[in-house]
Amino acid sequence: MSMENSEQQSPLEGIRVLDFSQALAGPYVGRIMADLGADVIKVESPTGDMTRHWGRRQAGMAGYFLQWNLGKRGLCVDLSLGKGVELIKQLAGKADVIVENFRPHVMEKFGLDYQVLRELNPRLIMASISGFGADSPEAGRGAFAPVVHAETGLIARQAKASGGEFIDIEASVADTNTGLHTTVAILSALLLRGATGKGQHLDMAMIDAQIATDDIGIYEIEDSLPTRPLGNRVWPIKDGHVLISRDARALWRHLAPEFNLVDDTPKDAPLQEKVENRRRLMCDALCSLPSKAAFVALMDKLRIPWGDVRESARLGESAAISHRGIVTEITDPTGETRPVLNMPYRFSAAKSEIRGFAPYLGEHNMAVCKDWLGMGDEDIRALQEAGALIQAAR
């Protein structure tokens, strides 16, 4: 999104990306780069990205796949055939960036590893995403976000904080964190290439990205949890629940004089009893407020950050979210609309935008071969007849 309605340039205009990835970490990178103006080609096998089966279907397109592949063009290639591999080599010779999230050495089995491709294109930047890193003793292990959540402490921490059982968190944060870090690495490599003329290979491990993005984990790593601020709490009020972003000790200092609260816990009582008594007094005080408006006025007066506890389906009730336009709609090929999410980039003199619908399997085979390689219709038909290029019915 841009802050002005003028003919502005996209930051990555002219950059060509081959996106071999599926699920989320890799496709997230491609989606960001597509919104920023890159020509991103979604390269799929004949079976397609697994997420083509996730979410509500409309116009033959599953919602989860749609979200993370908006604005890309689709190419379906059978890499078990020599002609399919040769086609990818030709495309790699024209690419600026390749993104893949196979297990380490899978691209090598296809004859498409970085050592081979850089001989064809020394300026190529190739980002390889894996769960545990290419040089790890656990490199061969498969990993989705929940595996990384378990391995890096998130699940144990959530259970400890809630006093509950071990369950995964309801968001693929290890994937999106990895996608964001991979995008930063790619953009940095592109910037460096501008100075040196040389590409490079990026080895991105999901465990690395998650640990590097975990601001609470450092307390556990250095065994200093008692020094961290107390966790934020959710409080009931007249019209629902709110999270108040304030250390409970500081919140008591704010609320006690406002409501004339008195802590009558015996001096020799255990600390936890004192904590629970103060929480009960604050909870009763907040619940005594006559309305949500009264709560908001109090928080404004005390300059305390707070947030409504709402479900994702109710995002439109937020004035800020509605104003920013992060949730928008796109029209599918049948003319029906469906909700999608914008990327959050707002430039003063450039644009970020959804550049089109997500591709159907192999939808842009012909266009990509013509645009990138200048192929004629006969050569493309020969690849189709050989089974190297595949276009599935919608």
Give the alpha-carbon dihedral of 165, 171, 173, 175, to 10 degrees.
Answer: 120
Residue 6: pLDDT band (50, 70, 90) is low
Which three-class secondary structure state does DSSP give residue 15?
Answer: coil
Q: What is the pLDDT of residue 247?
A: 86
The domains of the chain, with CATH numbers, are 16-217+343-385 (3.40.50.10540), 229-316 (3.30.1540)
Q: Report the range of poorest mean pLDDT among 28-37, 300-309, 385-394.
A: 385-394
Q: What is the pLDDT of residue 130?
A: 96
Identify the DSSP state of 313: G
Alpha helices in the chain (DSSP H): 25-35, 63-69, 82-92, 106-109, 114-120, 145-151, 154-162, 173-196, 206-212, 217-221, 248-259, 271-287, 292-302, 319-324, 365-373, 377-385
Rounded mean pLDDT, 162-179: 94
Tens of pLDDT, residues 235-250: 999 989 999 999 888 9
Whether the per-residue pLDDT at 310 is higher than 90: the answer is: yes
- Is 49 in the active site? no
Instruction: Report which residue type is found at 334.
Output: T
For the chain, give the percent of residues with pLDDT over 90: 85
**Residue holding tokens 């450039």?**
350
Tens of pLDDT, residues 313-368: 999 899 999 999 999 999 999 999 999 999 999 999 999 999 999 999 999 999 99
Tens of pLDDT, residues 46-67: 999 999 999 999 999 999 999 9
Whether the per-residue pLDDT at 183 is higher than 50: the answer is: yes
Task: Give me 152's structure tokens.
Answer: 């890096």
Instruction: Using alpha carbons, select from 186, 5, 192 the residue that is nearest to residue 100.
Output: 186
Mean pLDDT of the chain: 94
Which residues make beta-bridge pairs with 57? 62
Residue 295: pLDDT band (50, 70, 90) is very high
Whether the per-residue pLDDT at 306 is higher than 70: the answer is: yes
Q: What is the pLDDT of residue 122?
A: 97
Using CA atoms, how far apart are residues 214 and 177, in angstroms rounded to an integer?
A: 10
**Contact partners, residue 333, CB within 8 Å, separation at least 6:** 59, 357
Which residues make beta-bridge pairs with 127? 99, 202
**Contact partners, residue 128, CB within 8 Å, separation at least 6:** 100, 101, 102, 104, 107, 114, 134, 201, 202, 203, 204
Tens of pLDDT, residues 105-151: 999 999 999 999 999 999 999 999 999 999 999 988 989 999 999 99
Q: What is the pLDDT of residue 3?
A: 47
Q: Are 117 and 92 in contact (CB under 8 A)?
A: yes
**Contact partners, residue 95, CB within 8 Å, separation at least 6:** 16, 17, 18, 121, 124
Catalytic choice (19, 39, 49, 175): 175
